[in-house]
Homo-oligomer: A and B are copies of this chain.
């Protein structure tokens, strides 16, 4: 055993153990290691099947998401039954009384008021979500906001069976004065396969690469670049001329032009981090924003996160919090959608 000295917090690192243990035992441990590698390969197949399941369920969610899109855009006005919600019940009942009395008056009021009190659908639904979620508001620039007012829907599409594992984020826009694309896409390629050099680190599918799309900007509307004027003096003649230069500009829409890892080349640390953050954001759109958009619009999702954090803190002593953290890791590890 790696731990002859009795109780201790961490076992010795494997190489230490190699020294402590008799060769015959180390030999058997290697046999267990080889079995563990076989387990990792079975686990990879499990996650592939989970991915299939997700594709199957994506088709079951879609009609609900389409309905959401139509309510948000105003294309569909939900019925009273479709809008009945617990917390409103009492309010409704109170109103019922008044309404009986001055129904006709109400009608009149409504008509004239409609313009400002009854906008189309749910205005700026997606923009409000971008503003309320830190991970997204961090990317958001003021000049992005008027463009995102035209964002109608965000959808997740999974790779077809037999194709390499991937998912695509589709950002659907209504016709707008900024670009011609009706849909902007970001593809995230995934890998569900233990690394030969480090099979034990396998914790399920991971995003390994992403691809954006070309945005067909209207002239002068590209918010991802800015034009700066520069005076140049001619060496010989000393004449001065003004040249304009295009430089990169912060914008959410850079999301569709991600850093590319040059083939067989290491990225520098900054690019590594930028890409890692991009992967996180893609994962977050897929896992949270798209499946439960309304809860991010109302803030209910964020409140859940907060109350969850508070719970953790209430747990009291650090050790338990560490366990909580381990838990999160474990669950993360085994996330079939990761």
Binding site for B on A (CB under 8 A): 1-3, 6-14, 17, 22-25, 27-36, 38-39, 42-43, 45-46, 49-50, 53-54, 57, 60-61, 64, 67-68, 71-72, 77-78, 82-85, 88, 116-119, 121-125, 127-128, 131-132, 134-135, 137-138, 140, 142, 200-201, 273, 276-277, 280, 283-284, 287-288, 291-305, 308, 315-316, 319-320, 322-338
A128 engages B11 (CB within 8 Å): yes
4 closest A-B pairs by CB: A31-B78, A331-B332, A331-B335, A328-B328
Beyond contacts A201-B304, A280-B327: 14 other A-B pairs, Cβ-Cβ < 8 A, are A1-B124, A2-B297, A6-B131, A7-B140, A22-B119, A24-B118, A28-B122, A32-B72, A32-B293, A38-B64, A42-B57, A53-B53, A273-B315, A287-B330
Contacts of A336 in B (CB 8 A): 50, 334, 336
- Bound CA–CA A31/B67 (angstroms): 9
Give Cα distance in the complex from A13 to B302, angstroms. Answer: 9
CB distance from A310 to the nearest CB of B (A): 13
Q: Which of A1, A10, A338 has the most CB of B within 10 A?
A: A1
Given contacts A134-B323, A336-B334, contact A34 B82 (CB under 8 A): yes
* Identical copies of this chain, number: 2
In the bound assembly, the distance between CA atoms of A305 and B10 in angstroms comes to 12
Residues of B near A13 (CB, < 8 A) are: 299, 303
CB-based nearest B residue for A7: B131
Known A-B contacts A25-B119, A49-B53, A50-B336; A329 and B302 likewise in contact (beta carbons under 8 Å): no
A2 touches B328 (CB 8 A): no
B117 touches A24 (CB 8 A): yes
The answer, among B118, B137, B292, B334, for a CB contact under 8 Å with A200, is B292
Using known A-B contacts A13-B299, A283-B330, A335-B335, determine if residue A64 contacts B39 with beta carbons closer than 8 Å. Answer: yes
A327 / chain B contacts, CB cutoff of 8 Å? 280, 283-284, 332
Secondary structure class of chain A's binding surface, majority of residues = helix
CB atoms of A32 and B284 under 8 A apart:
no
Chain B nearest Cβ from A88, distance in angstroms: 7
Contact A122 B25 (CB under 8 A): yes
CB distance from A57 to the nearest CB of B (A): 5
Q: A297 contacts which of B11, B116, B142 (Cβ < 8 Å)?
A: B11
A279 smallest CB distance to B (angstroms):
10
Nearest B residue to A67 via CB reads: B35
Could you tell me if A135 and B323 are in contact, using CB atoms closer than 8 angstroms?
yes
Other-chain contact of A12, B7, B121, B284, B299 (Cβ < 8 Å): B299
**Which B residues are in CB contact (< 8 Å) with A67?**
35
A35 to B45, CA, bound (A): 33
Expressed in whole angstroms, the minimum distance between the Cβ of A68 and any Cβ of chain B is 6
CA distance A329 to B312 in the complex (A): 12
Contact for A61 among B42, B85, B297, CB less than 8 A: B42
Q: Say yes or no: B25 contacts A123, CB within 8 Å.
A: yes
If the complex has contacts A25-B119, A118-B22, A330-B287, are A134 and B9 also in contact, measured as CB distance less than 8 A? Answer: yes
